[in-house]
A = this chain, B = another copy of it.
């Protein structure tokens, strides 16, 4: 059956969280990559034209649940792809601005070390920031692959008579050891508010090391959160040493004063094969007097309290 590939990831581990003075032991998931089940395929139509589809949803091996609201909620798209003219993609898909959060962040958007612990703190994945990762009802366009290192995409999404109307753009350039991209987006949020995101990311490879940086801003009305992410990956045989620093600060918030936080994370990944790896990460979030950022998954902290996390797990792809 050549027309469909069944694929997925199961990622589970053990986790310890200390948020403020509350500790928690967890059978954790998605410490390194998001657990998922998916189907995808590409059909050659001749003349450099292809059709493709991609259906992918989240799953939680700790409790055996899938996403009960959106079974194929990670991505559900159908595409027409031209080698020369690029790809048109319809459905639910990742937003252009999301890709830079993931691509220029050594811990991606997973686990106790992920920069998303702070970046999503603007509003979590709550309704007012719901396009921070994906958008429903989208029409996307991707530049063709052979443009001498230039890559890019545009996405528009229908509000369908309600909120959620979206416009996003991303443009990048990758050559040799160097990769840089800018992205921006605007979403119509409830109450006539605009949710705006823009970011600039870059990475550079030197020998066995890779350096990464990301500047990411989320805005809604007078509220704004700026995030600075720095990271490095160092290859050691079949392993990878990873370190990340994130600084996030809110302005224009109703909470007066310095609402900011820093995340430090160090981790090690050991590849047992291309499909299977073991990992361990330790991280800490420190808050300013007014800040209450946390490592996601535990309880909330009081303003100014810190959050510490440790996890060790296994990621298996199929």
Contact = CB atoms under 8 A, between A and B. Distances in A.
Interface string A41-76: 101010001011101010111111110111111111
A63 B25 contact: no
Interface string A62-105: 11111011111111111010000000001110000000000000
Contact of A53 (B10, B51, B64, B80): B10
B76 A314 contact: no
Contact of A27 (B3, B6, B138, B318): B138
Contacts of A158: 14, 25-27
Interface centre among A7, A27, A57, A74 (most CB of B within 10 A): A27
A186 interface: no
How many copies are assembled?
Answer: 3
Contact of A71 (B12, B65, B136): B65
Interface stretch (A196-204, A211-219, A228-236, A270-278): A270-278
Contacts of A72: 59, 61, 64-66
Interface residues of A, number: 68
Given A6-B39, A160-B26, A64 B59 contact: no
Interface of A: 1, 3-8, 10-14, 24-27, 37, 39, 41, 43, 45, 49, 51-53, 55, 57, 59-66, 68-78, 80, 90-92, 134, 136-139, 157-158, 160-161, 272-273, 275-276, 313-314, 316-318
| List of 7 A-B pairs having minimum Cβ-Cβ separation, nearest first | A66-B71, A27-B137, A61-B91, A64-B92, A12-B90, A64-B76, A51-B276
6 contacts: A6-B6, A26-B158, A43-B273, A43-B275, A53-B318, A71-B71
